[in-house]
Homo-oligomer: A and B are copies of this chain.
């Protein structure tokens, strides 16, 4: 039997620090940290092949702490190990006492794992529960593509395993045979407000994990022999899941008296906790032992294969269409943007950074072109959008550029995961298809309508480097979709593209350029400026014919395909059109009209911004024309609204 005295000594030291740092912060989850203390120490001082001085290594093993609130354990160890934080350009080394800066405004030791603020030991922000295992799966997909043997360890809470996404992640891990993921379920038996349900008991977890196809190992999570035996096991055909029975608040009596969660100790309680841990040291026979570095890890060699760099090209629009069996569209000059997305994605697949995912609708989003041409870099996510997004974060954080598609409506399913991706500053590219009411027949359960309001929030939020947290694009034709897909690949950061279902005429030549913040001034009129995006650009064009024919009015037309949007320039176009702008959108409110109104309301130009949008919950109809009429967004409705605005402004 091995001697673990140095580690026993270490967990006493770290245990005390965990308690102290939460007391210092005035908040935090010391009891959760103590429950994973032994496993964390085993991983960070022995098992993981990594260098705490180089958290940016692309061959080292990784730890994803899905139950993010237990992070004081990791922080305490990483500080003890003198781990490096910051950026590769501006690295800095932590000291043991830096752990006491937990949650301070100027500390990188955020309340929950948060790599974007300078804690690169972690791949993704966690803390919204149930997402880490999917991130780990994404990192593992990346490792396989990179042909490294890095392992990804992921610690999941037992209460957390109630989140359905955990089971989506397990299905994904088994489907893709990701035996390089080692999942550790921390079964301490307690949640925040109560003991965990029997459905999340250790026994229940063992049964469930076995049924999901995992190789399950059950251990005492505070027993070194059992921990090391489980962590050093090599996965055969099944991925390994470890169910670790642990004690929440290990070593501290106060924490174990009842269900104890998320509160620090103060005063006498703190002193008593220190005494408890001292007593534990005596019990373990290490009361008088010296603390040693204790780290015995292998530092893996950096990969020799250089990652590709430079601009990514989708090549020629025409070539890509022909290559994917859509030569007819060039003749007919008509195609749905979603098909162009698929063609651009497949064409860019020659670059090894590009990977793609889709949730069982690839034949609708046209990710299918990529899946067929680059099967090794296509990860079918099945009907589980939450796992898909978080796995994409894992891929992005390890150098891949994941393009992720589904119906815009189904991506709503992963809005929390998208917000965590924003916090992580993950370089993921989203395509939400079948947006707006032009999907028609399938009805509101399949229509992406709230995506503009949600994504615009992030387009107006700034990340650490001053760039928008998300760029939003809405192409009105296939050329735009093609070019914007290519643009997204070359942007550093999260992008969301919204495509609609129907075929529409090509509005642009292949030479047309599209940019972040750009728009297209499609027509120059005098009486009003109509601003639209996506499918509504076509509806607006029809409306303009009616307006001109019936009322003799001429309208400017702006294709507002980007968010952030060049609002000042568009307001000036409105200013030239009798100061009247009408925005027409096939989404719920919160999109382009609000973006322009927010700018207009603090501008001195005095431009009026009127808007038409989906203001009733839609229902099915058999054609887009019908759903548009039902939403009062038909060309005739737009023409009537223009007439009323004109009458009023002239009246």
A residues with a Cβ closer than 8 A to B are 25-28, 68, 103-105, 107, 110-112, 114, 116-117, 125-130, 159-160, 162-168, 171, 174-175, 191-194, 196-200, 204, 207-208, 210-213, 358, 360-364, 368, 380, 382-384, 386-387, 409-410, 412-413, 415-416, 419-420, 422-423, 425, 441-446, 449-450, 453-454, 456-458, 460-464, 469, 588-590, 593-594, 596-598, 600-602, 606-611, 614-617, 619-622, 626-627, 630
Contacts and interface: CB of A to CB of B under 8 A. Distances in A.
A28 B642 CA distance: 36
B602 A594 contact: no
A28 B441 contact: yes
Contact of A164 (B126, B160, B213, B384): B384
A463 B168 contact: no
A174 B162 contact: no
Given A387-B164, A590-B590, A597-B594, A446 B112 contact: yes
Given A419-B450, A606-B606, A25 B622 contact: yes
A626 B105 CA distance: 7
Contacts of A461: 588-589, 614-617
A428 to B, nearest CB: 15
Given A171-B197, A383-B159, A454-B454, A597 B601 contact: yes
Contact of A589 (B159, B382, B449, B456): B456
A454 B112 CA distance: 24
A462 B616 contact: yes
Most buried by B among A104, A129, A175: A129
A358 B28 CA distance: 21
A285 B23 CA distance: 79
Given A112-B442, A597-B598, A620-B111, A166 B164 contact: yes
A575 B445 CA distance: 42
A488 to B, nearest CB: 20
Contacts of A463: 616-617
A590 B601 contact: no
Contacts of A422: 617
Contact of A208 (B175, B211, B457, B458): B211
B212 A197 contact: no
B193 A460 contact: no
Nearest to A461: B588
A199 B608 CA distance: 56
A175 B204 CA distance: 12
A197 B382 contact: yes
Contacts of A125: 444-445
Contact of A412 (B409, B419, B469): B419
A315 to B, nearest CB: 26
Contact of A620 (B110, B420, B456, B458): B110
A207 B174 CA distance: 15
A120 to B, nearest CB: 15
A87 to B, nearest CB: 15
A469 B617 contact: yes
Contacts of A457: 449-450, 453-454, 588-590
Contacts of A212: 199, 208, 211
14 contacts: A103-B621, A110-B443, A112-B445, A114-B620, A129-B383, A162-B383, A163-B164, A163-B384, A164-B166, A171-B199, A194-B360, A409-B416, A454-B454, A458-B588
Given A162-B168, A419-B412, A453 B590 contact: yes
Contacts of A443: 103, 110-112, 114, 127
A638 to B, nearest CB: 16
A392 to B, nearest CB: 16
A131 to B, nearest CB: 9
A441 to B, nearest CB: 4
Contacts of A360: 159, 162, 191-194
8 closest residue pairs by CB, A with B: A164-B164, A127-B445, A111-B443, A105-B621, A597-B601, A211-B211, A601-B609, A207-B211
A384 B113 CA distance: 21
A611 B588 contact: no
Contacts of A162: 168, 171, 360, 382-384
A111 B382 contact: no
A383 B69 CA distance: 14
Nearest to A160: B383
Contacts of A25: 441, 622
A305 to B, nearest CB: 31
Most buried by B among A193, A212, A461: A193
A615 B462 contact: yes
Most buried by B among A130, A197, A442, A590: A590
A112 B600 CA distance: 40
Contacts of A160: 383
A175 B410 CA distance: 28
B619 A114 contact: yes
B382 A26 contact: no
Contacts of A458: 450, 588
B192 A363 contact: yes
Nearest to A610: B602
B445 A68 contact: yes
Contacts of A600: 597, 600-601
A614 B457 CA distance: 10
Most buried by B among A211, A362, A382: A382
A162 to B, nearest CB: 4
Contact of A441 (B111, B213, B416, B593): B111
Contacts of A469: 617
A493 B450 CA distance: 19
A174 B199 contact: yes
